Amino acid sequence: MLQNNLDPEVAEHPDKLVVYGGTGRAARDWASFDAMVRTLRTLKQDETMLVQSGRPVGVMQTHEWAPRVLLANSNLVGDWANWEEFRRLEHLGLTMYGQMTAGSWIYIGTQGILQGTYETFAAVAAKKFGGTLAGTITLTAGLGGMGGAQPLAVTMNDGVALCIDCDPRAIERRIEHRYLDVRADSLDHALQLAVEARDARRPLSIGVLGNAAELVPQLLAMNAPIDIVTDQTSAHDPLAYLPIGVPFDEMAMYAAEKPADFTTRARESMAKHVEAMVGFQDAGAEVFDYGNSIRGEAQLAGYTRAFDFPGFVPAYIRPLFCEGKGPFRWAALSGDPKDIAATDRAILDLFPENESLARWIRMAGERVHFQGLPARICWLGYGERDRAGERFNDMVASGELSAPVVIGRDHLDCGSVASPYRETEAMLDGSDAIADWPLLNAMVNVASGASWVSIHHGGGVGMGRSIHAGQVTVADGTALAGEKIRRVLTNDPGMGVIRHVDAGYDIAETVAEDRGVRIPMREE
Ligand code: NAD
């Protein structure tokens, strides 16, 4: 999975060890990568390799239930947890940015985010547009590793997507992978294509080259008939957001040579971008932050209305988190797409009552282009993930799958992250910044038998703004793997249920009661 994260089909910049999300890396440097691969090849069943921000620092004797790898990436002590200090340490070769699934080796390409994005746009459609995006135009920016899922997620919901990116390669890549339909020649051309498709209620996604900080305000000034606005540029890292007036070709060199200057200009540009988003909200559009911290950065530049629109989690996703639902994913180590087709059938067979899940699995089977190892994602909750995992392990044991499968998830999950601008924004009890939960999550996954467990800082929203944990468990068809999978895939989503019970969410309380999640403070 470490190598898969860096497969040229999967990673955004494999030569620099960058997987996705700005500078999210799989290993600190090539010497560390080689040492990790060499160590993993000889690691025994009772040994554990320790990874400190992308560099293997030790191998210790543990036991066969212990994880084979433990990773801690990008963590800094509170008062030092800012980009300046992080970059100073990174420059000295002492740390790396692990993002969420880059440094924890469970990135599966753009599909990883596709279903979450599809679910979010489905929730927008349900909330405001009668259950479909047909006849609507969504405006967004950022067609990178994650943001590239947006156009396909919108067209899967039958809408029209107008997507801005300043990197022509990002646009071409999404077209090549069939996530984006067409590239427009200019902003006027893009809008004309969008309006024609919207009037015909025909799904269409359109890429347009340019700087979102300029084009979004221009569209507002043109009174463009936009229904939904969001953004997935790499705003969490001001050195990865193109400031107004800087040619794209000069971006990397300018960021490297004058980081402070670049940061100030990027934040000022983000303020203009966010101001236009608020303008669209004032004009009646549905506007939300898509988890990239652009509101926080705009606020730092002095724009006072940055938080006038909500983040996507409180707006659409939290009820799912209360049920322990989140981005469950798996990859076929055989490399054979037939193995994923077989697991797709198993999911349809296991959860016949869940129609939206079935719709997703069928559409994904038809439309998702695999990058690197064939993989699948679907959102499953407490009481569901363990059933799926155990079935997959049985399928490996019986030979129905030709090789083991790894089962993991994004760090963006129900009980694994503290991130006040994103996953834990506006918690009912005000506990947004309490970071005990992701640490407990990592510890319970270690105690339950996960194959590798990670604790990261700063993923998604940037330094100082999040702490999160991940687990991956290998289904190799053995009875021992079956036991580990049952515990890990029960306890991991169980953290989501207890976290939301603790914060006072009724849905979570009902789930805990109905499905037997023990909450000591509620027992006699
Ligand atoms: P990425 O670095 O792969 O892509 C970012 C894209 O933004 C690039 O293609 C870049 O050219 C473009 N860009 C930068 N500045 C621009 C500007 N001024 N105008 C137009 N385009 C510009 O990043 P990614 O993996 O796609 O992630 C994007 C953001 O979304 C990150 O901040 C990430 O943390 C966040 N994210 C959100 C979620 C979620 O669940 N909502 C999940 C993962 C990541």
In this predicted structure, the answer to whether residue 84 has a pLDDT above a threshold of 90 is yes
pTM over 0.90: no
Let me know if residue 468 belongs to a domain.
Answer: no
Locate all alpha helices (DSSP H) within 27-147, ordered by sequence.
30-42, 83-91, 111-128
* Count of the separate structural domains present in the chain: 1
In this predicted structure, the answer to whether residue 9 has a pLDDT above a threshold of 90 is yes
The rounded mean pLDDT for the chain is 96
Q: What are phi and psi of 309, to 5 degrees?
A: -110, 150
In this predicted structure, the answer to whether residue 182 has a pLDDT above a threshold of 90 is yes
Let me know if residue 359 belongs to a domain.
Answer: no
Look up the domain containing 126 and give its range.
111-309
Q: Residue 65: what pLDDT?
A: 98
User: Which pLDDT band, with edges at 50, 70 and 90, does 123 fall under?
Assistant: confident
HSE of 75, CA atoms in CB hemisphere, 13 A: 14
Q: Residue 445: what pLDDT?
A: 98
Let me know if residue 161 belongs to a domain.
Answer: yes
Question: What type of residue sits at position 477?
Answer: G
Going from the Cα of 142 to the center of ligand 1, the distance in angstroms, rounded, reads: 5
Q: Residue 119: what pLDDT?
A: 84
Q: Residue 37: what pLDDT?
A: 98
Going from the Cα of 476 to the center of ligand 1, the distance in angstroms, rounded, reads: 35
Let me know if residue 133 belongs to a domain.
Answer: yes
- What is the average pLDDT across 171-194? 96
Does residue 134 come out as left (phi exceeding 0), alpha (psi in the -120 to 50 range) or beta? beta
Neighbours of 470 (CB within 10 A): 33
More confident residue, 518 or 110: 518
Q: Residue 219: what pLDDT?
A: 98
Percent of the chain with pLDDT over 90: 92
- Binding-site entries for NAD(+): 21-22, 99, 145-147, 165, 211-212, 232-236, 241-242, 290, 460
Tens-place pLDDT, residues 433-447: 999 999 999 999 999
Let me know if residue 56 belongs to a domain.
Answer: no
Active site residues: 378
Let me know if residue 517 belongs to a domain.
Answer: no
Q: Residue 145: what pLDDT?
A: 85
Let me know if residue 501 belongs to a domain.
Answer: no
Distance CA 97, CA 54 (A): 9
Q: Residue 356: what pLDDT?
A: 78
Pocket of ligand 1 (CB under 6 A): 12, 20-22, 113, 116, 141-147, 164-167, 170, 211-213, 232-236, 240-242, 290-292, 412, 460
CA-to-CA separations, 192 to 70, 135, 139, 195, 198, in angstroms, rounded: 52, 14, 14, 5, 10
Q: What is the CATH number of the domain that holds 280?
A: 3.40.50.10730
Tens-place pLDDT, residues 411-435: 999 999 999 999 999 999 999 999 9
Let me know if residue 346 belongs to a domain.
Answer: no
Nearest to 403 by CA among 348, 342, 480, 345: 342
Best probe residue, ligand 1, of 124, 165, 208, 233 (max atoms within 8 Å of C-beta): 233
Q: Residue 409: what pLDDT?
A: 97
Distance CA 513, CA 359 (A): 29
Distance CA 362, CA 342 (A): 12
Given a contact cutoff of 8 angstroms between Cβ atoms, the answer to whether 460 and 424 are in contact is no
Tens-place pLDDT, residues 276-297: 999 999 999 999 999 999 999 9
Tens-place pLDDT, residues 12-59: 999 999 999 889 999 999 999 999 999 999 999 999 999 999 999 999
In this predicted structure, the answer to whether residue 115 has a pLDDT above a threshold of 90 is no
